[in-house]
Structure 1
Amino acid sequence: MKPTLKTSLLKLALVGILFYASYTLSNYYAASLAYVPEIAFAWERGIPFWEWTILPYWSLNLMYAAAFFLCRNSREQNRYVARLVSAQIIATTCFMLFPLHFGWPKPPTDGLWGVMFDSLVAFDLPYNQSPSLHITLSIIVGSFYWTRFPKIRLPILLWQSLIALSVLTTYQHHFIDVPTGALLGWLVLWAVPQHGASPFKRRSLSVAQPDSQTGRLKTSEANFAKTDEASFCEAKTSPATRSREIKITMLYLAGAVLSALPSFLGGVWLWMLWVSVSLSVVAFAYLTGNAAVFQKQADGSLSAAATILLLPYLAGVRLNMAYWLRGKAKTAQVRDGVWIGSVSGISDDLPAVLDVCAEYPHPRYRGAYRTLPLLDMVAPSENDLVQAALLLEALRRQHGKVLTCCALGYGRSAAVVLTWLLVYGGCRDLAQATAELKQTRPQMVLPPETAKAVEAAAGRLKNF
C-alpha cells in the first residue's frame, strides 16, 4: 500500500532531524579541535572551480526529500529510510573518529550561484570530509530513482554523475573523500538490498518437490514433516563443515590484510584497499556460512552493490576458472538429459540450467534458469542437496535437458548430480554413482563431508 502523505512527511521530518543534528554536531566537534588534518593530492590543484555546479550539488537535497513521496509502497519507503539512516550514522561516526577539513579558499561568486554558495556556507563548515556524505547519498538516492524510473535511467545516471563531480568543482571535498564516500554508499546498498534478504540474514529453507503428474515444483510441508529445526541446523552446521568455513575465512582475512598493506605507500596504491574490502566481504560470507552475501539474483546476475564491492575478487574468480578449465570441456553429458559443467559453459542451446554457483554471475541466457547459490570449497548441506536434486529432476522432466553448473563443474554441481543419480538415476550406492560421474567429469572432487551430505540427502529423498 502506498504510504500516506502524513506518514511520508513524518518520516522525512524524523530523518531530516537526524541528518541536520548529527551533521552539525560532527561539524562543530571538528571545529573545536586544535588541529584537524587535510588530505589532498598535488594534482588536485588543477581541478577547476565551476560555480554553476553548485546547482547539481544542491539538487541532491531536493531529490533526497522527493523520494519519500515517490515510493510505491511502505516496504520500499522503509528500505529507503533504512539506507539513509545507516549511511548517516556510519558517516557521522567516521567524521567524529577521523576528522578532516578542506582548507582551500573558494573564489568569489555572485548572482544566483553566489546566493547558493552563501546558503551552503551558513550551514556547512569545511569539515565532515571523508567519507563524502554527498557522494554516499548520491549513490543511495540515485539507486532509488534508477529503480523507480527505469525509462529515464540515462538522464538519471548523467545527473548523478554531475552531482558526484560537483563535490570537487565546488571545492567542497578533496578526491580522497569521493571513493570513500562511494564505498560507504555501495556498502549500504549491499547491506540493505532493494530485493531479497540482507546479507546479514541467512537464506531460509524452501524445499519443493516435483508433482508426479506435471513434473512442476510444488511446496510440500507434509513430506518434510521430519525436517524439524534441529535437524535443519545440524545439516547446515556440521563440525567438519564449520571448521572448513572458519579456515577459509581466515585465509581471506589474511588476504585482505596483505592487500591493504601497500596502501600505506599512498598514491595509486590506495586502490589496493578495494581489493582488501572485496576479500573482506568474501571472508564474511564464509564466516557466516551465508551464500546470500554474494547476492545472486533470480536471473543469475549479482546485485549492483555486490558487483562493485566484489569486482577485484570476481576478476580473480574469472582468472581461476580460465586456468583450471584450460584445454578441458566446460560441460559434459552424464546421462540423457543431464549435463554437468561450469557456469561459463552456459549457452542458449541448453533448454534449462540449474546454477549452484554463488560467487559468479552467469552469461546472458534465454532458457529456463534456476539458481540455488552454494558456497564454494565447503560441503553443501543436506537440505540444499535435497532441494537441488528436486530442482534438477523437475527441470529435466519439463525441458528434457538440463545443465547443472558451478564455477568449474567439479565440486558443488558434482554433489548435486551424484544425489540425483542415487535417487533418480538408478545407482545402487555412492560408489557406483561416483564411478559413473568420473567417466564424464574425471576432475570432480568428493570430500568425505560432501559424500556424507550426498548420502543423507539421497536417503531423505528416497523416503518421500
Structure 2
Amino acid sequence: MAAPATDPAPAREPYLGIVLRAALWLALLAPFFYSTYGFANWLASRRDHVGSIVFAWEYALTPFVAWTIVPYWSINLFYGLSLLLNTTRRGVDRLAGRYLSAQIIAVACFVAFPLTATFVRPATTGLPGFLFAVLGGFDKPFNQAPSLHIALLVIIWDHWRHVLARHRLGGILRPVWHVWCFLIGASVLTTWQHHFIDIPTGALLGLFALWLFPSKGELPFWGFRLTADPKARRLAGYYALGATIALAAAAAGAFVSADFLILLWPALALAMVAFAYAGAGAKVFQKAANGSVSLASRILLLPYRLGARINVLIWTRQLAPQAQITDGVFFGRFPSAVEANRFGTVIDLAGEMERPRGVTCRWISYAMLDLVAPPHDRLERAVAAIELARRRGTVLVCCALGFQRSAAVVADWLVVTGRSHTAAQARRKLAALGRPVHLQIGLEEPGLEEPT
C-alpha cells in the first residue's frame, strides 16, 4: 500500500473578503448582544425577588480595585479585533458561532434563573469613574451566572493564543497576552461586577462554545442523525440518565450549598457522551489523528475520562497490559507513555482516551466508541494501518481495556491478511492469549462474518 498523499495547501483567501465577513457578523452580533442582554436585565428587574449565590468569604477577600475597570472594558476591543484576525472566512464563522452560542445560552440562563450581585461599589472618580458610569448606563446587577464576560474571555483568549502561535509571535507577546487575560478575568471580581460562582460557570460556558465550534475539524453536531443501533441508543439513555441525575443533584444541592454546583461539570460531560452514542459518534471527543484532543474536550470531558481511567484499572489490574499475536503485532489496553514507547507504532482506537504525555513513538488514532460496532470505513483504515506499520517495527493496537475494539480490529486484520481463515479461527487465536475477548461488536463487519 502506498502512503496517502498529503493534501495540497489551501489557497490563500483575499483578506478583503475576510474583513467583509467579519463586518457582517459584527453588524449582527452587536445589536443581538445589547438587545438580548438588556432584555434579560429588564426581565429580572420586574421580579419581586432575585436571589444571589455568594460565598461568605467573598466579602472579606474580594477587594475593590477601581483601575481594573480598564481591563474589564478592554474585552470589547478584543471582541471585534478577534473577528478580523482570521485567515479564512470559515475561521470567522467558527468564532462568530462561539460568540453567538455563548450569548444564547447565557441569556437563557439569565432568564431562567436570574441572580443579583450584592456588592455595593464605592464612588469612584477620574477615568475609572467615567467607565463605571458608562457601564452602569446599560448594565444592571442581575446577569450573573454564568458570567458572559468570562465565557467570552475564554473564547477570545483561545483565539488569540492560536493567532500568536500561527504567526510565530511568541517571545514576550504570549506571556503579556496571558497576563492581560488574567487581569480581565480577575476584574469581574475586583470591579464588584460578579460573585465567584459566576467565574467557573462562565468558563464552562466558554469551553462549551469552543467545543461546539472547534477551530479545526468537524462540528460535533453537524450531520447528526439518531442512531438505529439499539445498543447505542440504550447506552445513550444510560448516559443521559446519569447527566440528568447529576444536574438534579446540582440544582437541589445548591439550596444547601453552592459547592453542589460542581456537579454541573460531570452532568455536562455525561450529556456530551450521551450525544455521541445517540448518533454524533466519536467526533464528540475531538480527537486528532495523532491522539491529541482539543483544549475544550480535554477540560469538559475530564470527569468522564477520569471515570474511564478508573474503569481501566479495575478491569485490567490483574492482566498483562499487552499480548503478542503474531509478526510483531500486539493488542491490549490503553498504554502509559513508558509502555507505548516500547513499540514502533501505536494504533489507538479509544476515542475517549487522550494520548499520554511523553510518547515518542509513532501514534495513529482511529477514534471509535466503546461497546458498539465501529464504523466500517474506520475499521478498514485501522486494519490497513496495522499492515503498513508492521513493516516499520512492532505495533500495539489498543483501546481502553483491550477487550473489544482492539480485538475486533486485530481479528479483522488476521482474516483480511490470510493469517486466519475465519472469524472463529481468529477468535480462538486471540482467546488463547489469556485475555477476555468480545468480538460480537465486529461480527457484522465483512472481514469477521462467520461462513454460512
TM range, smaller chain: 0.7 to 0.9
Q: 1:297 to 1:388 in 2, by over 3 A?
A: same
Select 1:44's aligned residue among 54, 58, 62.
58
1:113 Cα deviation from its structure 2 partner = 1.5
Select 2:236's aligned residue among 222, 245, 249.
249
2: CA distance between counterparts of 1:282 and 1:118? 45
Select 1:452's aligned residue among 436, 444, 448.
444
Contact between 1:2 and 1:71, CA under 8 Å: does it hold in 2? Answer: no
2: CA distance between counterparts of 1:202 and 1:417? 30
Q: Which amino acid aligns with 1:180?
A: T
Q: Superposition RMSD on alpha carbons, in Å?
A: 2.1
- The TM-score, its normalising length taken from structure 1, stands at 0.85
Count, aligned residues: 421
Residue-by-residue CA offset, 1:314-351 (whole Å, 9 max, x unaligned):
11111111222213221221111211122224522311
Select 1:324's aligned residue among 315, 331, 336.
315
| Partner SS state of residue 302, structure 1 | coil
Residue-by-residue CA offset, 1:359-409 (whole Å, 9 max, x unaligned):
011213233222111100112233332222122222223x13221110121
| Partner SS state of residue 343, structure 1 | coil
Q: 1:318 to 1:45 in 2, by over 3 A?
A: same
1:290 Cα deviation from its structure 2 partner = 0.6
1:176 Cα deviation from its structure 2 partner = 2.1
1: CA distance between counterparts of 2:180 and 2:286? 27
1:117 Cα deviation from its structure 2 partner = 1.3
Q: 1:441 to 1:165 in 2, by over 3 A?
A: farther
| Partner SS state of residue 76, structure 2 | helix
Contact between 2:442 and 2:448, CA under 8 Å: does it hold in 1? Answer: no
Contact between 2:69 and 2:128, CA under 8 Å: does it hold in 1? Answer: yes
1:359: which partner in 2? 352
1:106: which partner in 2? 121
1:441 Cα deviation from its structure 2 partner = 4.8
Select 2:38's aligned residue among 1, 12, 24.
24
Q: 1:91 to 1:270 in 2, by over 3 A?
A: closer
1: CA distance between counterparts of 2:14 and 2:58? 46
Q: Which moved more, 1:169-178 or 1:415-424?
A: 169-178
Select 1:421's aligned residue among 411, 414, 419.
414
Q: 1:25 to 1:9 in 2, by over 3 A?
A: same
1:306 aligns with 2:297: yes
1: CA distance between counterparts of 2:28 and 2:243? 38
Q: What is the percentage of aligned positions where both structures have the same residue?
A: 40
2: CA distance between counterparts of 1:145 and 1:124? 27
1: CA distance between counterparts of 2:265 and 2:318? 32
1:158: which partner in 2? 179
- The TM-score, its normalising length taken from structure 2, stands at 0.87
1:265 aligns with 2:257: no
2:158: which partner in 1? 143
Contact between 1:332 and 1:440, CA under 8 Å: does it hold in 2? Answer: yes
Residue-by-residue CA offset, 1:190-227 (whole Å, 9 max, x unaligned):
11111110111359xxxxxxxxxxxxxxxxxxxxxxxx
1:187 aligns with 2:181: no
Q: 1:269 to 1:94 in 2, by over 3 A?
A: closer
Q: Which amino acid aligns with 2:28?
A: L
| Partner SS state of residue 440, structure 1 | coil
Select 2:108's aligned residue among 76, 79, 93.
93
Q: What stretches of structure 2 of length at least 5 have no aligned partner? A: 1-12
1:394 aligns with 2:388: yes
Q: What stretches of structure 1 of length at least 5 have no aligned partner? A: 204-232, 460-464
Residue-by-residue CA offset, 1:90-110 (whole Å, 9 max, x unaligned):
222222232222232101111
Residue-by-residue CA offset, 1:216-247 (whole Å, 9 max, x unaligned):
xxxxxxxxxxxxxxxxx9xx96x6xx111122
1: CA distance between counterparts of 2:260 and 2:44? 28
Contact between 2:319 and 2:435, CA under 8 Å: does it hold in 1? Answer: no
Q: 1:149 to 1:331 in 2, by over 3 A?
A: same
1:251 Cα deviation from its structure 2 partner = 1.8
| Partner SS state of residue 340, structure 2 | coil
2:47: which partner in 1? 33
Select 2:99's aligned residue among 66, 84, 97.
84
| Partner SS state of residue 397, structure 2 | strand
Residue-by-residue CA offset, 1:410-440 (whole Å, 9 max, x unaligned):
1100000000000114211111111111222
Contact between 1:53 and 1:166, CA under 8 Å: does it hold in 2? Answer: yes
Q: Which moved more, 1:136-145 or 1:293-302?
A: 293-302
1:411 aligns with 2:401: no
Q: 1:322 to 1:292 in 2, by over 3 A?
A: same
Q: 1:7 to 1:408 in 2, by over 3 A?
A: closer
1:376 aligns with 2:370: yes
